Structure 1
Amino acid sequence: MVSKLDDFFRFQTTALSIRGERQQLIASNIANADTPNYKAKDIDFTSALNNALGRSNASNGSQVPEALTKTSPQHLDIKGSAAAGLPLYRGTVQGAVDGNTVDMDVEQNQFTDNALRYEAGLTMINGQIKGMLAAIQG
């Protein structure tokens, strides 16, 4: 029974987990806006979600691997983690003299967009739970 509930909520919980990690990366970018040579990072949400759920990549039809191949026992195991999306460096919109690639306008927009999408995910999970309760209570 519990595994069926896990399956029912897997998509939304995985999406929320990735959104949370993305929010931390964007917050880190904002915090390091004045750090020389800091490179802004972000997560490609779609590929991270596909990777975490083990889905095929829609753009090229290939199967997305569930985990990276570890070549050393000292490598970290990220299988099943939302971090499977791996942070990417954000492209430079307007370079700074000190080598910092953080653009505060872009970061603030991304932060707000991601926060709204996180709230929408919570609303969807809440709706799913209410629907299940209505079905149980009759």
Structure 2
Amino acid sequence: MNLFGGTISTLEKSLKYASVKNQTISNNIANVDTPNYKAKDAVFKNVLHNTMSTGVQAKRTHENHMPFDGTSDSSFQIITKQNTSYNSNGNNVDIDKEMAELAKNQIYYQALVDRINGKFGSLQKILQGGS
């Protein structure tokens, strides 16, 4: 029995993505002065695009449901930005961009935590008899 229709699972995956993105950004910031270090990024759009182009295997239960043709075991991936160099030492970490991405990711993470807390709060209220 799925109490929230997959919402908790989706929020869990989103929290995992936000955590990996935060770790990736933190690694970039920590290596801002490391010669030849190439910035990394956790991305979702590329995986979605690749999945949709290769297809996803899924069972359609209604003719109005979207068809899928392929598989993907992860909702995101870590990529290395190879084509840029901002510093003379070969490092391509833009500290201003990384700090902005970190702030944006922290807001995203906090929104997810607030949403999952709301779901658990609803469950707790139901278990206590709705009062």
For residues 38 and 28 of structure 1, do their structure 2 counterparts lie closer, same or farther at Cα, with a shift above 3 Å needed?
Answer: same
Q: Quote how far apart the aligned CAs of 1:113 are.
A: 0.5
**Partner of residue 36, structure 2:** 37
**Partner of residue 77, structure 1:** none
More divergent stretch after superposition (93-102 vs 8-17): 93-102
What do residues 77-135 of structure 1 show as CA deviations (whole Å, max 9, x unaligned)?
xxxxx6x6221124767621111010000000001100110010000001111222233
Q: Distance in 1 between matches of 2:110 and 2:23?
A: 15
Question: Structure 1-normalised TM-score?
Answer: 0.69
Name the aligned partner's letter for residue 18 of structure 2: R
**Partner of residue 65, structure 1:** 71
**Partner of residue 27, structure 2:** 28
- 2:124 corresponds to 1:125: no
SS of the residue corresponding to residue 43 of structure 1 reads strand
- 2:106 corresponds to 1:107: no
Between the two proteins, the alignment pairs up a number of residues equal to 114
Q: How does 1:45-56 map to 2 (within 5 A)?
A: 45-46=44-45
Q: Distance in 1 between matches of 2:98 and 2:84?
A: 11
For residues 129 and 88 of structure 1, do their structure 2 counterparts lie closer, same or farther at Cα, with a shift above 3 Å needed?
Answer: same
Could you tell me whether the CA contact under 8 Å between 1:43 and 1:85 is conserved in 2?
Answer: yes
Instruction: Structure 1: state its 5+ residue gaps.
Output: 51-55, 68-81
More divergent stretch after superposition (7-16 vs 108-117): 7-16
Q: Distance in 2 between matches of 1:129 and 1:22?
A: 25
Q: Distance in 2 between matches of 1:107 and 1:135?
A: 42
Q: Provide the alpha-carbon RMSD of the alignment.
A: 2.8
Q: Distance in 1 between matches of 2:46 and 2:55?
A: 12
Larger radius of gyration: 2
Q: Distance in 1 between matches of 2:123 and 2:40?
A: 38
Flag the structure with higher helix content: 1
Instruction: Structure 2: state its 5+ residue gaps.
Output: 57-69
Question: Structure 2-normalised TM-score?
Answer: 0.72
For residues 30 and 62 of structure 1, do their structure 2 counterparts lie closer, same or farther at Cα, with a shift above 3 Å needed?
Answer: same
Could you tell me whether the CA contact under 8 Å between 2:44 and 2:77 is conserved in 1?
Answer: no
Could you tell me whether the CA contact under 8 Å between 1:94 and 1:103 is conserved in 2?
Answer: no
